[in-house]
Amino acid sequence: MNILDKIIDAKRKSVKQQKSDASIHELMNSVYFKRNSLSLVERLNSGVANGIIAEFKRKSPSKGIINNQSGVVDVVSSYEKYGASGISVLTDEEFFGGSSEDLKEAREAVSIPILRKDFIIDEYQLIEAKAIGADVILLIAACLSPGEVRRLAAIAKNLGLEILLELHDEKELDHICDETKIIGINNRNLKTFEVDIEKSLKMAEKIPGDKIKIAESGINSAENIRLFKENGFKGFLIGENFMKEANPGKAFEKFVNKLK
């Protein structure tokens, strides 16, 4: 199996365990479940911030441990302070070292939209996302059929959540649907973890004009941001570039200053 197959196989098992640990009824009683979600779509369209969705990420399957010293609150607070349009929090534990608690801590610390970054394959995870304070959820085309994307996106929308649909290959364009207002193009192939920015730029030309385009992964310079902006991108999901530093918040501040 490739890396993505291994992750999804493990995710099916962990979701089964989560369902036995906390019922949907318990999740729906969460204080966060009753809150009105913040809109990443509106924030990106408004242009009030820098378009960066800054990520809190402890480790990855390709790089191993990236940063296990920095605390969630300090990092995400700095992201917000220096103009992030949104926050992304990894909640996958086995492969990325994240947790639902990380997202809850972030929710208490910031007042901008939060993306739950995980491998969503089940309706339960959508309800859980709402219950832990997420505003946006990620659906990855590489591990879902077009029908599954439409079904999960419709459920997420009914919960008041926005959807970021992640694509990597042109063959996945048929996953786009009315509910998926934000389309992310992952520069990193989740099956091989190779990065190819040029391929993403060409693919972006085929995204419908009424969608918000997000560039994901492999972004490590202000020049990358300018190139993507020239090609119609409004958002930029960046994590490792900041988290690999001893002080991710400071690294983010320096990066933002180079954009000015």
* Domain spans in the chain, listed from the N-terminal domain onward: 3-259
Classified as helix, coil or strand, 64 is: strand
Residue 55 is among the residues annotated as catalytic for this protein: yes
- The catalytically annotated residue of 128, 166, 179, 240 is 166
pLDDT at position 208: 95
Residue 36 is among the residues annotated as catalytic for this protein: no
pLDDT, tens digit (0-9, with 9 covering 90-100), for 202-230:
889 999 999 999 999 888 899 999 999 99
Q: CA nearest 185: which of 221, 42, 199?
A: 199
87 token code pair: 């926050």
Q: CA nearest 210: which of 185, 183, 184?
A: 183
What's the whole-model pTM score? 0.95
Residue 166 is among the residues annotated as catalytic for this protein: yes
Look at residue 182 and tell me whether its pLDDT is greater than 80: yes
Q: What are phi and psi of 28, to 5 degrees?
A: -70, -10
Point out which residues pair with 14 in neighbouring strands. Answer: none
Look at residue 197 and tell me whether its pLDDT is greater than 90: no
pLDDT at position 94: 95
CATH classification of 3-259 is 3.90.79.10, yes or no?
Answer: no
- The catalytically annotated residue of 37, 55, 59, 80 is 55
Burial of 178 (0-12, 13-18, 19+ CB in 10 A): exposed
Residue 247 is among the residues annotated as catalytic for this protein: no
